[in-house]
Amino acid sequence: MSKKSTLSMPELRTAFEAHGYISDKELLTTVYLALKLEKPLLVEGAPGVGKTEIAKVLSKVFDTELIRLQCYEGLDENKALYEWNYQRQLIKIQMLRDTACQNLSEDDVFSLDYLLERPLLKAIRAENRPVLLIDEIDKTDEEFEAFLFEILSDFQISIPELGTVSAKHIPIVVLTSNHDRELSEGLRRRCVYLYIDYPTIDKEINIIRAKIPEVTEKLALQIATAVNHLRNSLTLSKQPSIAETLDWTRALIAMHADHLDSTMVKQTMGLLFKNRDDLTAFQKDMGADGLCAAVKQATGMTNTAYHCHNDDASCGG
């Protein structure tokens, strides 16, 4: 383990903040324990709450490679672990035949030179301790999940032609799940578990300001309050994520907005809602006027501090 892998809790907090990841004590403690115990970290939560970002930040904190295995239905061992480079093997065989070689053996074509490393093998054979991100593990089937058990427990794999390959350094492993399906007890038992919920208004303000320093304090407050209200007041097929909050903030800044108003909200809802049903639900149940009024009430601002667009008097109350 490298020296930097032994960060204390305060050092880890400082490092996360330095890379713009706003976290609370529970999250940091869980990440710290996973690092300390050298166990995989299983992170669950809704899409866009910052699960994948943990792996990215860890790779920056420890200044190491991020190796990503993006999971999907039908993912198999070959695509996750390794494949033989059959084309190179055939060329090698042909070359040996052309030179009339009489001693062709398996070793001539089944060596590391002919192995195409996929993410899992690459993490096992890495010279420096990498961060291995197994993203959206819940999209794979149960058989693939079971296949991971040996790797996550012993950090070694078996290649029939080459034997057992053990990790040079135990990778920092982060698995994410959107909870599309229930994961097995076997997988959970091998991991330290973390659940990330949508942030509070205060936390989301800090995230916005950390990621987009040019945003004003007032606009950050209004945006975080608005998004929080949308999540808690509407029944949506997809709640606005932190990533969408940040996109919305950047869009508003690009439009030179220094506060929310009804017209601006109407023009930018495509940054928050990504399907027609959710947009229709917003327009029917709340609308831009309702959202602006809710933000005004929640932030307790006066009409002077929180003024709406001149052509939309209903927003100003």
What's the pLDDT band for 205 if we cut at 50, 70, 90?
Answer: very high
Q: Does this model's pTM top 0.85?
A: no
pLDDT at 1: 46
Q: How confident is the model at residue 304 (pLDDT cuts 50, 70, 90)?
A: very low
Pairing of the two strands 172-177 and 131-135: parallel
Q: What is the pLDDT of residue 306?
A: 43
34-78 pLDDT, tens digit each: 999 999 999 999 888 999 999 999 999 999 999 999 999 999 888
pLDDT for 317 equals 28
Residue 313 has pLDDT above 70, yes or no: no
102: pLDDT confidence band, cut at 50, 70 and 90? low
pLDDT at 301 over 90: no
* 9 vs 227: CA distance, rounded Å: 31
Least confident of 212-216, 265-269, 312-316: 312-316
- pLDDT > 90: what percent of the chain? 68
Q: If pLDDT is split at 50, 70 and 90, which confidence band does 154 have?
A: confident
